[in-house]
Amino acid sequence: MKPIFSDKASLALREMLRFPTREWVVRDFEKELGIGRGWAARVLALLREKGYLKGEARGRGAFAVLRNREELIQEWIRDYDFTLNKTHFYYASDTNLLPKIKQFFNRYTKEKAYALTLHTGANLMTNFVRTSTIYLYLDSKDFKRISLELRQTLDLKELKKGGNVCLIEPYYKKSSFFGLQKIKGYPVVSHLQLYLDLYHFPERGREHAEYLLRILKEKGKQLA
């Protein structure tokens, strides 16, 4: 993956895409996102080099404003690779598992984090792809312990192939949960992360991504 779309760099990109007309300076990223000034300066330099920024590049009055927003997102989509995540598939005989997953995590709100993605997350807005498989990210900081307890509680059986529950250890350890939203009571990754995950997903992913984008535009919403 290109440095500009790496985990830490993508924090800055996600925030800039949320506020595309804002004038940014390096210290904003340090103050609001905890990104070091050196790293933030490098991200801005890469964006400027690629033509994604306008504004003063040097001096006391230096600032940056995002430009070519759609082109940036399209380049990100081309570069993004969902397979960099570590996926773990399990089988559950229970056909009404999603409410029980929410119930499990409700007991540990401060300790554990999860977020639905792919068709599972998008279907809460679109109901577009009929699938029994549940896809969810788990916080990478304590993935092994959380996943083990979840498997034991819900009686998930480990499989070498297939399955209907996919626990995802995120490649984007810092930014997968950026812009987390609640939809119908469930935590779902941001619209942008949903779109990235779906677009190259082999099982009707691009079709669902494009339908999601259409639904968002009809509602006057943006990807980021």
The CATH number linked to 14 is 1.10.10.10
pLDDT given for residue 34 in this prediction: 86
Token pair 């509602």 in the structure block, residue: 219
Q: What is the mean pLDDT of each run of 10 residues along the chain (224 residues)?
A: 91 94 90 87 91 80 88 96 96 92 81 87 96 94 92 91 92 94 96 97 96 95 86
The answer to whether residues 188 and 115 touch, using CB atoms and an 8 Å cutoff, is: yes
pLDDT given for residue 108 in this prediction: 67
* pTM for this model (two decimals): 0.92
Domain boundary among 75, 106, 135: 75
Q: Which residues contact 83 (CB under 8 A, 6 or more apart)?
A: none
> Residue 132's domain is classified under what CATH number?
3.30.460.40
Token pair 């997903």 in the structure block, residue: 201
pLDDT given for residue 112 in this prediction: 56
The 10 Å Cβ neighbour count of residue 208 is 23
Please indicate, yes or no, whether residues 86 and 176 belong to a single structural domain of this protein. Answer: yes
Please indicate, yes or no, whether residues 140 and 61 belong to a single structural domain of this protein. Answer: no
203 vs 193: CA distance, rounded Å: 17
Please indicate, yes or no, whether residues 131 and 174 belong to a single structural domain of this protein. Answer: yes
Domain boundary among 42, 75, 108: 75
**Residue 224 domain flag:** no
Can you give the residue range of the structural domain that contains 192? 82-218
Q: What are 88's strand-pairing partners?
A: 167
> Which DSSP string corresponds to 98-127?
HHHHHHHHHTTTTT--EEE-HHHHHHHHH-
**Residue 53 domain flag:** yes
